[in-house]
Amino acid sequence: MLLTKYTHAAVRVEEGGRAIFVDPGIWTEPGALDGAEAILISHVHNDHMSAELIAEAAGKNPDLRVYGPAEALAHLDLGERAVAVEAGESFEAAGMTVSAHGGRHAHIWEELPDVANLGYLVGGRVYVPGDSLVPPGVDVEVLFVPIHGSWMKIGEAIAFAREVKPERAHPIHDAQMSPERGWHSADAWLTRASETAYSRLAFGVAEDLG
């Protein structure tokens, strides 16, 4: 299995030459979705779901399927190629088993509307949570842990990693931090306190899990 981290919360998972792309948002690089057979959307916010980028990918691949909460998919014009899923469901995508977890976005502010959020366990190994720090309640080999956002603080990221207990963890949700200072600080905290093997994946470079 290959993992590739792109800007912010975007992750590509490949196995057997087939690919799933999780949370392609407005900061995701052009071409990052090329060759993907399936897209997983955690929630409707545009840092996780770029309708324009998804439409472009769908135009290139007529067999592309997009999975996510119904309220998010309603913003896409994909017809039957958009497949609504809910927490607790499992399905096959690009030859991999995917299970959906969670249900709601983490609280930001009382005057903002609540939205659905799904975390995804891909291939029984890799968990990508979207904007939620609710543990999936299943064994996780690789956790992509959010490290920054209007809805969280670093101590919550540490607690999340400790509760999930993955074999290893890598940061996501970091585009609004300074790489020179913010990333360094957050990575130092997670390395010190997460109680797992924490490291930052090289940007745009596939990491082989074996």
- The full set of domains in the chain, from first to last, is 2-205 (3.60.15.10)
pLDDT at 59: 97
Instruction: State the Cα angle at 142 between 172 and 175, rounded to 5°.
Output: 5
Question: How far separated are the first and last CA of the chain, in Å rounded?
Answer: 6
Mean pLDDT of 93-103: 97
d(CA 108, CA 69): 19
**pTM score of the predicted model:** 0.97
The whole-number pLDDT of residue 180 equals 87
- Residue 96: what are its φ and ψ, rounded to 5°? -115, 145
CA dihedral sign, ordered 82, 83, 87, 90: negative
CA 96 to chain centre: 16
Per-residue pLDDT reduced to its tens digit, 21-70: 999 999 999 899 999 999 999 999 999 999 999 999 999 999 999 999 99
pLDDT at 133 over 90: yes
Round to whole Å and give the CA distance between 42 and 117. 5
**In the prediction, which pLDDT does 114 show?**
87
DSSP string, 21-33: EE---TTSPTTTT
Confidence (pLDDT) at 117: 98
Rounded (10°) CA dihedral 42, 5, 46, 105: 40
